[in-house]
Amino acid sequence: MVLDRFKLDEKVAIVTGGATGLGRGMTLGLAEAGAHVVVVGSSESDSGIVTAIEKRGRKGLYLQANLMSTAPIQGIIDQAVETFGHVDILINNAGIIRREDAVNFSEQDWDDVMNVNVKTVFFFSQAVANQFLKQETGGKIINIASMLSFQGGIRVPSYTASKSGVKGITMSMANEWAKHGININAIAPGYMATDNTAQLRADASRNTEILGRIPANRWGDPEDLAGAAVFLASQASDYINGYTLAVDGGWLAR
């Protein structure tokens, strides 16, 4: 049955930034589809995400890590394997944004955003791909891109560069790893109601301008990414590789 290909029963997923916002929506979607989830966050508190996973009949593990550096990556994978025996899915969701006019943008803000949004994404993917190869199981990697993987944006030069980079390395990794049964794709969320967009939503003029271009006439919710994440993590997407899927309420079509 085709619906069986969407099931994630007994799969093990790692979701960075998976305790809040968009990551939380995807984490709970994976759990509802049958996956156990290792959630990586920067806070000491898991924001109740493990309890929420367990309420859906799956097992959860929360690990605190600072992904500004690549240093924690292998330890996270090792703990996931020690706890669950294997890893099948990685969602590179953790990301940061800094807003400033391009003429005033600092080197520190540039480096911080690029480190989390591109460098860590690549090296986490590399480490998980090596785990997949060791297991001889193949696997799924889902990167979180952005509308700014396609557009220039305003006052977010490093974020635009980083998310364009995410789209690019997604294609590059797919070219090399698809032959090993490793699928690498990306999701590009549209304008979503998260902490990252709080400033935009609080600006009445920008809020009206943005909503006026979204055919769905609303900001997206974290739950809007759950279906796309489950699809790209499942057997249903086995012949999809190197693609960036927009979940944007029609923004790019406008």
Phi and psi, residue 115, nearest 5°: -65, -50
Residues linked to residue 186 through DSSP beta bridges, in sequence order? 143, 244
In the chain, what is the straight-line distance between the N-terminal and C-terminal CA atoms, in Å?
Answer: 36
Residue ranges with strand state E in 115-221 = 139-144, 182-189
3-class secondary structure, 61: strand
Q: Rounded to whole angstroms, how far apart are CA atoms 17 and 91? A: 9
The residues that are catalytic are 159
Measure Cα distances from 63 to 25, 71, 115, 197 in Å. 18, 14, 20, 25
DSSP calls for 169-200? HHHHHHHHHGGGTEEEEEEEE-SBSSGGGHHH
